[in-house]
Amino acid sequence: MPLIVVLGHDSCGAVSATKSAVDTGNMPVGFMRDLVERITPSVLTSMRNGEHEINDMVVEHVKQTSQRLVDSSRVISAAIEDGRAAVIGLSYSLAEGRANVVSGIGDV
C-alpha cells in the first residue's frame, strides 16, 4: 500500500524564521517569504495552544501539512477512503537519528 510521509525535523530554520516573523512583524523577502507564509498558520496554532518551542511548532506544521495534503487532493483522499493509501507525519530528531510518529491519516 502506498504510504505518503510528511517529515519535519527539529531545529528547523524555516520554522524558526516564521516564529521570528510572527514575533517581530518583519517578513523576510524572496524564497523565505513564501515559506514563512506557508508555515505561519502552524506557528500561530502552536502559540494559541501555549506551545512556544520551535520543535512543538515543527510537529504542528507536520500535522497541518499532512491534513492539507489530504484535503487538497481528491486522488489522495479517495485512496485513503478506499484503504489504498495512508499519510503519516513524522518528526525527525537530528541528534538522536530517529523519527517519531506525530500523525496518521488512513490505515497506517
- List the chain domain ranges: 3-105
Q: Span 3-105: which CATH code?
A: 3.40.1050.10
Looking at residue 28, what DSSP letter applies? -
**To the nearest whole percent, how much of the chain has pLDDT over 90?**
97
Query: pLDDT by residue (tens digit) across 50-99?
Result: 999 999 999 999 999 999 999 999 999 999 999 999 999 999 999 999 99
Nine-digit cell at 49? 495552544
Looking at residue 94, what DSSP letter applies? T
The residue count of the chain comes to 108
What's the CA gap between 56 and 67, in Å, rounded? Answer: 17
